[in-house]
Amino acid sequence: MSRDVMSRDRVAWSDARRAVRYRLEAGGVEWEIAPGRTVRGYGFNGQVPGPILEAKQGLPLEIEFTNRLPEPTVIHWHGLRIPAAMDGTEVVQRPVQPGETFTYRFTPPDAGTFWYHPHANETEQLEKGLYGALIVRAADELALDGEKILVFDDLRVDRSGRIAKFGGLMDRHNGREGNVRLINGTSEPEFAIAAGQIERWRIVNASSARYVRLSLGGHPFQIIGTDGGFIEAPVPAEKVLLPPGDRVELAVGPFAQEGDIVGIDDLPYYRGTGKKGVERFGTIRIGPRKASTARLPPRLREIAPLVTGPTSVTRTVTLGFRPSLRRGFDFVIDGERHHHDEPVNVGELQVWDVVNTTQIDHPFHLHGFFFQVLEINGQKPAFRSLEDVINVPPKGTARIAWYPDDRPGMWMYHCHILEHHAAGMMAHFEVKRP
The option from ligand C2O, Cu ion, none interacting with 414 (CB < 5 to 8 A, set by class) reads ligand C2O
CA–CA gap between residue 275 and residue 154 (Å, rounded): 13
Q: 250-289 burial, b if ≥16 CB within 10 A, otherwise e?
A: bbbbbbeeeeeebbbbbbebebeebeeeebebbbbebbee
Give the number of residues in contact with Cu ion, rule: CB under 5 A: 4
Q: Is 76 in the site for ligand C2O (CB under 6 A)?
A: yes
76 vs 81, beta carbon nearer ligand C2O: 76
Residues touching ligand C2O, count (CB under 6 A):
9
Contact call for residue 414 and ligand C2O (CB under 6 A): yes
Q: Which of 108, 229, 245, 282 touches ligand C2O (CB under 6 A)?
A: 245
Smallest separation (angstroms) from Cu ion to the CB of 207: 13
Binding partner selected for residue 271 from ligand C2O, Cu ion, none, CB under the kind-specific 5 to 8 Å limit: none
User: Sheet containing 146-155: which strands, arranged edge to edge?
Assistant: 186-187, 180-183, 146-155, 199-205, 247-252, 221-226, 229-237
Instruction: Give bridge partners of residue 375 from the DSSP assignment.
Output: 399
Kind and range of the H or E run holding 17: helix 3-18
- Report, in Å, the least distance between residue 136 CB and ligand C2O: 16
Task: Write the binding mask 334 to 373 for Cu ion: x where contact by CB under 5 A, - elsewhere.
Answer: ----------------------------x-----------
For residues 404 to 433, the per-residue mask of contacts with Cu ion, x marking binding by CB under 5 A and - elsewhere, is -----------x-x--x-------------
Provide the minimum distance between the beta carbon of 363 and Cu ion in the complex, in angstroms, as a whole number: 7
Please report the beta strands in 138-267, taking only residues with DSSP state E, as ranges in sequence order: 146-155, 180-183, 186-187, 190-194, 199-205, 212-215, 221-226, 229-237, 239-242, 247-252, 261-266
Report cis status (omega within 30 of 0) of the bond before 49: yes
Q: Are 152 and 282 in contact (CB under 8 A)?
A: no
367 binds, among ligand C2O, Cu ion, none (CB under 5 to 8 A by kind): ligand C2O
Q: Which of residues 84-143 bind ligand C2O (CB under 6 A)?
A: 117, 119
How far apart are CB 405 and ligand C2O at their closest, in Å? 19
- Least distance in Å: CB of 308 to ligand C2O? 30
Query: Residues 192 to 211: which contact ligand C2O by CB under 6 A?
Result: none
Cβ distance to Cu ion smaller for residue 415 or 431: 415
Q: Which residues contact 160 (CB under 8 A, 6 or more apart)?
A: none
Q: Which of residues 355-394 bind ligand C2O (CB under 6 A)?
A: 365, 367
Instruction: Scan residues 169-228 and list those touching Cu ion (CB under 5 A).
Output: none
Alpha-carbon distance of 136 to 304, in angstroms, equals 21
Contact status, residue 314 vs residue 349, Cβ threshold 8 Å: yes
Closest CB to ligand C2O among residues 339, 414: 414
CB of 206 to ligand C2O, least distance (A): 9
**Of 411 and 413, which CB lies nearer to Cu ion in the complex structure?**
413
Report the DSSP beta bridge partners of residue 352.
315, 400
- Residue with Cβ nearer ligand C2O (234 or 368): 368
Q: How far is the CB of 386 from ligand C2O (least distance, A)?
A: 16
User: CA 286 to CA 274: how far, in whole Å?
Assistant: 33
DSSP β-bridge partners for residue 432? 345
Closest CB to ligand C2O among residues 181, 365? 365
Non-local CB neighbours of 17 within 8 Å, separated by 6+ positions: none
Binding at 119: pick from Cu ion, ligand C2O, none (beta carbon under 5-8 Å per type): ligand C2O
Question: Are the CB atoms for 103 and 64 separated by under 8 Å?
Answer: yes
Q: Which residue is nearest to ligand C2O (CB)?
A: 78
Minimum CB separation from ligand C2O for residue 414, in Å? 6
Contact 172, 418 (CB under 8 A): no
- What one-character DSSP code corresponds to residue 46? T
Q: Which residues bind ligand C2O (CB under 6 A)?
A: 76, 78, 117, 119, 245, 365, 367, 414, 416
Q: Which residues bind Cu ion (CB under 5 A)?
A: 362, 415, 417, 420
